[in-house]
Amino acid sequence: MPEIGRIVKVTSGKDEGGYAVIVGIVDERFVLVADGAKRRFDGPKKKNVMHLLMQPVVSVEVADSMRETGRVTNAKLRYAIQKYAQGKGE
């Protein structure tokens, strides 16, 4: 299930093969994703959940920040993705 802070792998579109973090949920079919680099928090991409591969990791830092302030820094998004990718050995 999509939830704020979950790391996803993009499976189609311009960002295919890259990782992003869910920063918003539009409805049951669409979510907003950002990676903190090319796709920043202030301009998230609306993606169909069918075009995303949900990873088993939810970034606690991102989820807490979104819950407390409704925002998250781009650096925090980049850090969450980098930490996940290093853990996977990519």
Write down the pLDDT at residue 27.
95
pLDDT at 88 over 80: no
Token pair of 88, please? 């996977």
Q: How far apart are CA 73 and CA 49, in angstroms?
A: 23
Write down the pLDDT at residue 11.
97
Write down the pLDDT at residue 1.
84
Beta strands in 1-90 (DSSP E): 6-10, 19-25, 30-34, 45-48, 52-58
Kindly report, residue by residue over 2-51, the tens digit of the pLDDT: 999 999 999 999 999 999 999 999 999 999 999 999 999 999 999 999 99
With CA atoms as reference, report the closest residue to 36 among 80, 85, 70, 78. Answer: 78
DSSP SS3 for 90: coil
Write down the pLDDT at residue 90.
66
**Domain residue spans of the chain:** 6-88
Name the fold adopted by 6-88.
Answer: SH3 type barrels. (2.30.30)
Kindly report, residue by residue over 52-75, the tens digit of the pLDDT: 999 999 999 999 999 999 999 999
